[in-house]
Amino acid sequence: MLFRDVSEFLKEIEETTSRLDMTAKLAELYNKLSPTEAKELSYLLLGKLAPDYYGVELGIGMKLLFEALSMATGWEVEDVEKLYEKMGEVGELSQYLITKKKQSSLASRDLAVKDVYDALFKISSTSGQGSVMTKIKYAAELFNNSSPLEARYIARMLVNKLRAGIGEPTIMDALSWSKTGTKEDRELIERAYNISSDIGEVAKAFLEGKDLSKEFTIEVLRPIRPALAERLNSAEAIFAKLGKCAVEYKYDGFRMQVHKKGDLVSIFSRRLERMEGMFPDLVDSIKEMPYKDIVLEGEALAVNKKEGTFFSFQETMHRRRKYGIDEASEKWPLHLYAFDVMYVDGDALIDRPFKERRKVLESFLPFSNNIKLSHMEIAHNASDIKRVFDDALSKKLEGIMAKNLEAPYKAGKRGFSWIKLKKSYGKSVDTIDGVVVGYYRGSGARAKFGFGGLLVAVYDSERDEFQTIAKVGSGFTEEEMVRLRDMLSEIAIKKPDKRLNTVVEADVWVEPRYVVEVMFDEITKSKQHTAGNIDGQGYALRFPRFLKLRDDRDIYSITTVNEVLEMFAAQSSKK
């Protein structure tokens, strides 16, 4: 398929406000693509070139983009930069410059989807001496062969700012819609994606008519999307929901998915990024596990050996680094507390009850100084749950996780088979994890930092959209204000993200990329925020305070609207 035709579809999707119409239009596009084109375009729609665990980064800097546009159009770089300052958006800029070229290309050709994908992949993978100029030439060649509308979307892809408002849920809905005109195949598609973490391969296989349940099974060294927990606010509520259950300490560190295949070890973060290079101390122990092939999950915390306690989350985060790894390993030694196992030597365990998976885990752990079993007890009543919870807090942990003994491992799913109960912070009811969708420049004493606070949203999984819940203006140190300003200015956009439902304004809108933990006093009804919006009234956090940046979490595993509604109901019942 020609990229010119794809661009027309993207334009229509961009101009669509209805999520249903967007899904139908994307489904129409998938019906015109070959399976291989569907695979490649699925990645590009998400600002990727491959699954996250490949570690392939899509995007070049703005400076290189300006150089490429200059080379392709004959405009001086300085004039390109001035025009960008005026327009403020790379798609509009590129579309205008291609329309107003000051030089003609010696030769041009129609671009296919594969041509664009291959060129972007070359740009991403080019490195070494002379790589900057090579990247510029590849990008300029794309612009030479593009129409103005194609240039609009190619430029956005080059800087990873497509702004189509499309996430994995919308792609899965559209794939189902492309064959049935309904979402009836969504569950089958989602299961394949949760097992493989590869939306491109799933799209390709689905359009080829393959049996997804047989095509996608656990594969060692390919990560499974992690199971997610719901929350309740008391031991009594948990026992009423689960009855007799397993209760584990909730460790506040790195969630890790460990894969071992012979002597090969991969460690994936909660966001499915490769991490084994950062943790040689754990890799050495994992290699000694008494199975050839294994997939397990755990939480890693830095241990203060001198005091016999855990370091804080912020201190544990010092282990996430590319340099100075040996020194960090010595200063912040990690212990991995394994809490689940999904695969052992050819035997997939995810569909087995948790109590059986736990027995397998206990059969070979602990076996080293730094890989241990998570602390777990069986609760026969609410008092047992409360006792384990208090015990966890006494060890400076953040709470507990209660688990249904009969439940399978629900990859990529949130549900009440796992329920978390977290500590309160002073008088705070709880905390939420939200995605930053905008920020405020600040005034008074904060004017010098260029930062005054955050606009934070939660996720509505049914609508595949983010809904605002709080303006967060306190809790920041001066260092955090500077860091957040610098991080967020890099992902600033001209308009709110297409996936954002908001009625409040931000001084600067940003791509939904960074997750923060926010504590608050209570949840209130509000006409200013859209979280759980019913008849123009949503929910908001009262006295929200910034707690920490959650680099370990992705934007789809944040607090959901349903969680907010449940927290509000629990809060109301207490009153």
**250 part of the active site:** yes
Distance CA 148, CA 29 (A): 20
Q: Distance (Å, rounded) from C-alpha 348 to C-alpha 214?
A: 13
Burial of 17 (0-12, 13-18, 19+ CB in 10 A): exposed
Tell me if 568 sits within 8 A of 562, measured CB to CB. no
The catalytically annotated residue of 250, 410, 423, 548 is 250
**Token pair 């949130």 is at which residue?**
414
3-state secondary structure of 526: strand
- Other CB atoms closer than 10 Å to residue 572's CB: what's the count? 10
Q: Are 405 and 414 in contact (CB under 8 A)?
A: no
Q: If DSSP codes are grouped into helix, strand and coil, which group holds residue 229?
A: strand
Partners of residue 440 on adjacent β-strands: 453
Q: How far apart are CA 236 and CA 242, in angstroms?
A: 10
DSSP codes of every residue in 255-286:
EEEEEEETTEEEEE-TT--B-GGG-HHHHHHH
DSSP one-letter string for 376-401: EEEESSHHHHHHHHHHHHHTT--EEE
Rounded Cα gap, residues 525 and 537, in angstroms = 7
Catalytic positions, please?
A: 250
